[in-house]
Amino acid sequence: MTGGCSTCHNGSSATGKPNGHFQTNRQCDECHTTTRWSGVRYSHSSGNFPTGHSSSIGCRDCHIGNSETSAWRNPAYAPDCAGCHAQDFKQGPHKKYEQPQTAYYRVDELRDCTGSCHVYTDASMTQIKKSRTGEHRASKKDW
């Protein structure tokens, strides 16, 4: 059976969604198999969905309000990594240059953690001392 579940399963004619169910107007079979009602399967096709995340992320990791829509934790950085992970950023390991005085990148400069950042020889930032390419990947186990 596909589509139209809520026509009957509306809580009046037949059993509807259980209490605490994720709030959505989608039909049941868009996310669940209708034989066992297990395993949520949903493919995010929005350009705002961050790619590269493992399948271990649950719906409520992003949809905190138990709703079909999701608000970025740090909307100023959306849709980059910092859109959700700005509070995890640690400045210490992200040196920009060491001469004449050590300067560090800010989260707004490294909002997409999978990109690259450079350590420059000095404050002129014209000569790269060390290049870092993709130190962080959402698919890495230690992410």
Distance CA 143, CA 137 (A): 7
The most confident of 52-66, 90-104, 109-123, 128-142, by mean pLDDT: 90-104
Q: Which residue has the tokens 């590269």?
A: 52
CA distance to 17, 48, 93, 112, 128, per residue, from 96 (Å):
52, 29, 10, 16, 10
Q: Say what the pTM is.
A: 0.61
Q: Is 34 exposed, middle or buried (0-12, 13-18, 19+ CB in 10 A)?
A: exposed
Strand 128-133 relative to strand 116-120, pairing: antiparallel
Beta strand ranges found along the chain (DSSP E)? 95-97, 103-104, 116-120, 128-133
pLDDT, tens only, 93-126:
888 999 999 999 898 888 877 666 788 899 998 9
User: Domain map of the chain by residue range?
Assistant: 1-50, 90-133
What are the phi and psi torsion angles at 103 (to 5°)? -125, 145
